[in-house]
Amino acid sequence: MPEEPRAALALFLERSHTAAPLQLPQLVDEAARRLGMVSATVYLADVQENLLVPLPGPGAGDNAPALTVEGTVAGWAYRTMSLRLSRQPLAVWLPLVDGIARIGVLQIVADQITSAILDGATQLAAVTALTVVSKSGFSGLLSRAARRRPMTTAAEMVWAFLPPRTLGTDKVTSTAVLEPAYDVGGDASDHGLDDGRLHLTVVDAMGHDLAAGLASAVALAGCRATRRAGGTLTDITARIDEDLHHWRPGGLLTGVFAYLDLDTGHLSWINAGHPPPLLIRAHHVVAGALEAHGELPLGLGPGYQPSRTVHQAQLQPGDRILIHTDGVTEARSATGRQFGENQLVDLVTRALAAGEPAPKPCAASSTPSSTTTTASYRTTPPSSWPNGIPRPNPPTMINLSVDRSTPTTRGQAPSATTLLTPTMGPASHGWESR
């Protein structure tokens, strides 16, 4: 006889406080059975969001196989952040969402799907997501479940500095992706909400080694320390410039540092040696809208510290700002054809038109490092998926940075450009980052 949902979920929450991460699968499954379901299985997305990996339990040998995000019902529930049904066995797939950030899916197997089962499954998915997130900060088990292979030391260091992948409110959504996840060079990103503003940072340090990762880590630390002390954008760049010169002599770093006022849509940013941002409005690039005179990168030291220019722009609801490094646009196909800015914009705008709620990485790539940060500005309350699951609006701010490296799979664009195109077919050319 199914228990009353409130009692079953209250017991789940009570036990979750002292449960070890290894006990979570059993805890979730027991709660599902109390709610009248046959079973429940927790799947977490791997760091590249290519696979949904079952959360390992005590009987690791009995775990279900990993599922691909592409081409599966589970993956469709994850990508669209919506409830999906499957047969054989009869199951409900629900996205696991932390705020507006998707972290995996929950499979509920039941003898029959009723409104009571759906209500209970939705509530169980919500508390399961919160429990997983609460334990992910200190659990090596959860980290290993999300990884398909070991990370380099540089990648581990950069990942330790990165904020949550997605954050947002009813006015803004920001999503960051670091790809490839296991061999990061000098690329990193940061985002945060503070006093009605969204702060965005993307940095690209010179090189692809541990020293480059150290430079990007120093930049993020300096950025956060200054921002949390109430500093301005010019204070942030001055602090990073000073820290790099002191702790990483000779290490240069380009970057874009921005504030978005969530009430007015006013965008302020500093561009330190980066390619200029692109303004995409109504799926078209507004030529030259955000271009400005170039400025020196950070890390040159006291004798080269220029007076930084804070650029200003007024965004309209639905505008998109695309920030990228030259590693994207200078990538070449096997025949030598350059990827170029037009191809990049085409891929991004087609993905946005397809209505994907948030970016996800493409299949594993050999490109050493790329960072994507997406912020969506809106002036009206967000729409919702069925069952009250929040649906982020199409992105408005996209920051991309990609290092140059070895060939990707033929027929596939550079990883950072395909991060936003999970429903699209492959590009017409194979591309190689150099």
pLDDT at position 169? 83
Apex 362 CA angle, 357 and 366, nearest 5: 150
**398 by DSSP, 3-state: which?**
strand
Q: What is the mean pLDDT of the chain?
A: 78
pLDDT at position 166? 83
**DSSP state for residue 98 in the 8-state scheme:** E
Distance CA 393, CA 164 (A): 18
CB 404 within 8 A of CB 434: yes
CB 96 within 8 A of CB 104: yes
Which region among 27-36, 218-227, 348-357 has the lowest average model confidence (pLDDT)? 348-357
Distance CA 323, CA 216 (A): 17
pLDDT at position 277? 82
Mean pLDDT across 244-266: 90
Mean pLDDT across 216-220: 92
Which region among 117-131, 157-171, 286-300, 326-340 has the lowest average model confidence (pLDDT)? 326-340
The answer to whether residue 328 scores a pLDDT higher than 70 is: no
